[in-house]
Amino acid sequence: MKTTLLTLTLALFSFVTYSQTNVPDDNFEAYLESIGLGDGMANNNTVDTSKISAITSLNISNKSISDLTGIEEFTSLQTFNCSFNSFSTLTLPNGNNLLELICQGPNITNIDAISTHTALTKIDIKYGMVSSLNVDANINLQYLDCYDNPIGSINLLNNAQLTNLNVYRCGLTDLDLSGNPLLTALNCIDNNLTTLNLSSNPALAFLDSSLCVNLTSITLPDTSSSLSPLYIYCTNCDSLSGMDVSNNPNLYWLDVRSSDFQNTLDLSNNNQLSYLNCSNNMLTGLTLPNPSDLFDMYINNNMISSLNLTGCTGLVFMDCQYNSLTSLDVSPCSILQELNCHHNSLMTSMTFDNSALKLLYCNDSPIATMNNTLSLTGLLEFGLWRCNLTTLDLTNSMVLQYVETVQNYNLNSFTLPSTTTLTEVYAWGSKLMNLNYANFPELQWLNIGINMLKSPDISLLPKLIGFWCNQNQLTSLNLKNSHNGILAYMWADDNPSLTCIQVDNVTYANNKVIADDWRINGLEYFSENCALVGLEDFQLSIIPMYPNPTNGKLTIELKTNTNYNLTNLYGQEVKKGMLFSGINQMDISYMSNGLYFLRLESLDGHTVKKVVKE
């Protein structure tokens, strides 16, 4: 009886010992205990083998684990995530059931354990320090991501099932993909590749080879049988001079900006292309598909001399600035909404039939003709600097909000729409004698300086904040709009024939001049009704005052006794008194150098003069 009892006790003890798995890492054990895979006893370095051996998925990422001992008994594990821990060498479960391995993080240096797991379909070791990677045994591998690992080289000839490959910044000088006919996505950004042959990869749907500055050639596969759209990114490839996409009718997205593309980019077979960016290259020609599904097109900063947009009926955005275009016809692009065509130094004409166009900017091009601008009924913003137009008619642009027609030195006729939507008009630096701006009640900013205007009148512009009419041929100026209080900036200087400026309040106007927010010649004066100003006021405004600038005494000739008040730039009074009929001298030698304002007031009227002390 005693012998039998002892035998049963030993057998029971043997069974308990057999059921435990050693897990020496306290963080690893604590986590297993927390998810019910332990033996119920904290910090005893053991867990229940029968529990862990049945688990099919385990995520121990970010658990500060330095030792994976015990993982061997997770024999049923299929999905394992052990990213961002402290261990450097990977340990994996016994058996061959593991299908997906995610082991990211900068501490990983060795993953040789994958060689015995031939069932693996996914390996993700992003952000590691693995310098040697052998996947020869992983014949079922479909997804491999070794982003930012210094592997230097990789052999993928045994991985015929591979569909997704990410070797971003892996230090590769060569990449042989001839054994991967199912490959659909390739990311090989920022490597040292000189050539890339993808002719054996007809299922390719995504390619990003950007920042491969030594890459001189890419051979694309024939994807004409593919039903998936093809996306190609190849930006900042400084040595890549071209790309043949003629066998890729499914090309949907092409971004080759800032590379070294030269000669002509032929896209005639790419009717499904929706997005094109070939900006910042050295292209001299571009052949677009017809018909075309192009939606966005960036071709700026090249040397393209002509552009046929006949088939681009779906184009919504185009940037073709900094090219060598001689003319531009966007009339086929019926839904075009935004066009930037700055700095085409040879472009003399443009043609429109674009009611959907909202934003049009075309500065620094010698455009002499704009055909059918009356079609621009949806235009919101218009910019045209330094062109050769003589006439411009935007009559039908009834929703226009912003206009810049600046430094168009030949422009002598400009017609704006009769609309309530305009808030900003900048038309300075032309030869305009007239401009129909008077009936824009929402206008806030108006610059018509450096033209040939004579009698600007803003009396019907109550919301005006800034107004410039300097360097014209003004003989009269009406600023009286009952809202001078919000007219923060006004320049009317360099108009020698201007004598009277009509304003809401003379005192307010003079104070704005003193603050240098309003600028005038100093010979004209303000009045609340210029029509009633008499000869005496005019004579007061042309008072001789010399020398100015002065370093001592200022001579002032008056025809009547006059009160004066001298203030500095900050409006502080520095001198006041009475001047008398005849020649007066005012000593300002003791004052600091700078600009002062002398206000003169007599029975004949008042004026403000600028005085410069040197």
pLDDT score, position 138: 98
Q: What is the average pLDDT value for the chain, to the nearest integer?
A: 93
At 6, the pLDDT band (50, 70, 90 cuts) reads: very low
What are the b/e assignments for 560-595, b being 16+ CB within 10 Å? eebebebbbeeeeeebeeebeeeebebebeeeeeee
Q: What mean pLDDT comes out for the span 13-34?
A: 81
Is CATH 3.40.50.300 the right assignment for the domain spanning 544-613? Answer: no
pLDDT score, position 10: 42
Q: What mean pLDDT comes out for the span 137-143?
A: 98
* Domain definitions of the chain by residue range: 544-613
H-run or E-run covering 510 = helix 506-514
Q: What mean pLDDT comes out for the span 309-334?
A: 98
Query: Which pTM was predicted?
Result: 0.84
pLDDT score, position 492: 96
At 540, the pLDDT band (50, 70, 90 cuts) reads: low
Please determine, for residue 426, whether its predicted confidence score (pLDDT) is greater than 50. Answer: yes
Which is more confident, 559 or 11? 559
Least confident of 11-20, 24-33, 355-364: 11-20
Q: φ, ψ for residue 507 (rounded to 5)?
A: -60, -45
Please determine, for residue 535, whether its predicted confidence score (pLDDT) is greater than 80. Answer: no
Please determine, for residue 319, whether its predicted confidence score (pLDDT) is greater than 60. Answer: yes
At 194, the pLDDT band (50, 70, 90 cuts) reads: very high
Query: What is the spatial distance between Cα 136 and Cα 518, in angstroms, rounded to a whole number?
Result: 80
Please determine, for residue 18, whether its predicted confidence score (pLDDT) is greater than 80. Answer: no
At 288, the pLDDT band (50, 70, 90 cuts) reads: very high
pLDDT score, position 2: 42
H-run or E-run covering 536 = helix 535-541
Please determine, for residue 16, whether its predicted confidence score (pLDDT) is greater than 80. Answer: no
Percent of the chain with pLDDT over 90: 81
Least confident of 8-22, 301-315, 416-430: 8-22
Please determine, for residue 282, whether its predicted confidence score (pLDDT) is greater than 90. Answer: yes
Q: Are 145 and 127 in contact (CB under 8 A)?
A: no
